[in-house]
Chain A
Amino acid sequence: MSFTDLANPTRFLALVQRLLPWLAAATVVAFAVGLAMAFNAPDDYQQGATVKIMFLHVPAAWLSMFGWALMSVAALGTLVWRHPLADVAAKAAAPIGAAFTLMCLITGSLWGRPMWGTFWVWDARLTSVLVLFLMYLALMALYWTTEDPARASRAAAILTLVGAINLPVIKFSVDWWNTLHQPASVIRLGAPAIHPAILTPLLVMALAFALLFLTLHLAAMRNEILRRRVRTLQLMKADNA
């Protein structure tokens, strides 16, 4: 099967049906290994055991941004190449990206209270991630409330590309402004600033969350293709009535 064959939703569905059980199994194994490593990792010399929250917070933060980046590529696919699965991919990614952003915000807040003395502060990093979450909600609302799917896909694609401006703001907010949130520790120029004993479980947990995202995204794309088939058949039924 070539890459262009995947533009055919029926072939894409067949591929997803074959891949999903393997991806689900790989996700479970990755989480089992990642959680075992996370709970056996040493405490941080400053933060103590609360560093265990990082194993959830950081992967969720990465995937919250990855979700929007993926939707931005899909938006280009909708507007420029008119790929039949581009809008399906974007629409399916929105609720998953929103859930990971919410996970990032809540776990960050629960980490911030014992370390910073507050659940929330309006600094650039926290505020820009909150904006990302609100943009996800706006995009979902746009899809749900626009009756014509073609109009919804174009409007959503434009909103997604405009919203992509927020991604570098999130990434570099800790460098551009004086924030309570710490600067980048893993993805930065030079070596990661985290000891390997903590970095390794973090990367395994990131892999597990990435597999979870991929599995859920493919399953949600499958559902969206079926939803569009249902809509087509319902329109045919209405025409025949």
Chain B
Amino acid sequence: MNLGAHADFIVAAYAVAIALTVALIAWVALDYRAQRRILLELEQQGITRRSQREEKP
């Protein structure tokens, strides 16, 4: 594939788009893991929401 005389600009644009997309995906995935971990820790300490307590027999 020949990207012509301005190949550097095209490659840089795609690199920036990939970097931003990967950063967004990583932010969402790491945030999910962090919130799940904190919730689990709180539940292990016996701190649960009212609806969760009502679900238990």
Q: A196 in the interface, Cβ–Cβ < 8 Å?
A: no
Residues on the B chain within 8 Å of A10, using CB: 51
Range, interface on chain B = 35 or more
Q: Mark B41-54, 1 if CB is under 8 A from A, else 0.
A: 01101011101000
CA distance A127 to B43 in the complex (A): 49
**A50-B20 contact in complex given A110-B13, A111-B13, C-beta closer than 8 Å:** no
Are the C-beta atoms of B25 and A50 separated by less than 8 Å? no
State whether B17 touches A226 (Cβ < 8 A).
Answer: no
- Let me know if B4 and A43 touch, CB within 8 A: yes
Judge whether B35 and A227 touch: CB under 8 Å: yes
Q: Which residue of B lies closest to A31 (CB)?
A: B21
Contact B45 A237 (CB under 8 A): yes
Produce 1/0 per residue, B9-25, CB < 8 A to A: 11011101100110111
A48 to chain B, nearest CB (A): 5
What are the residues of chain B within 8 A of A102 when measuring CB–CB? 20
Q: Give chain A's interface secondary structure class.
A: helix
**B contact residues vs A (CB 8 Å cutoff):** 1-7, 9-10, 12-14, 16-17, 20-21, 23-25, 27-29, 31-32, 35-36, 38-39, 42-43, 45, 47-49, 51
Contact sample, A vs B, 12 pairs, CB 8 Å cutoff: A49-B7, A53-B13, A60-B17, A95-B27, A99-B20, A102-B20, A216-B28, A222-B32, A223-B35, A227-B31, A232-B49, A233-B42
Residues of chain A touching chain B, judged by Cβ–Cβ distance below 8 Å, are 10, 39, 43, 48-50, 52-53, 56-57, 60, 95-96, 99, 102-103, 106-107, 110-111, 113-114, 212, 216, 219-220, 222-223, 226-227, 229-230, 232-234, 236-237, 240
